[in-house]
Amino acid sequence: MEGEVVRLKRREKNLGNADPFNNEERLVENSSDEDVNEQLGHFESTIKVNFVKKQVVQFRRALTRLRIGKYGTCEKCGKMIDTDRLAARPESTICIICEREIES
């Protein structure tokens, strides 16, 4: 899982670098079409970076639970998280039942 955090942090950096607003050669005075493309590119980069940041936080939470000996137990209800769920999403810190309650 620690390797996944490193991979995600690298991805976050690459996504940030791909943001058109971070391009040093960016023209301030663009045509309206170019302006729209830059805005959309910035918006897309921002969404992706925020998603990756949330994943990093979730993996770190799971790693913390692993260190304190609570990995595999739900943060909400305290029951064991299904092993199939952990195999598919090792960063899970809540069981599927609690996650469904949160989403509804």
Global pTM?
0.76
- The domain ranges of the chain are 1-69, 72-104
Q: What is the pLDDT of residues 35-79, one digit of tens each?
A: 788 889 999 999 999 999 999 999 999 999 999 999 999 999 999
What SS3 string covers the chain? CHHHHHHHHHHHHHHHHHCHHHCCCCCCCCCHHHHHHHHHHHHHHHHHHHHHHHHHHHHHHHHHHHHCCCCCECCCCCCECCHHHHHHCCCCCCCHHHHHHHHC
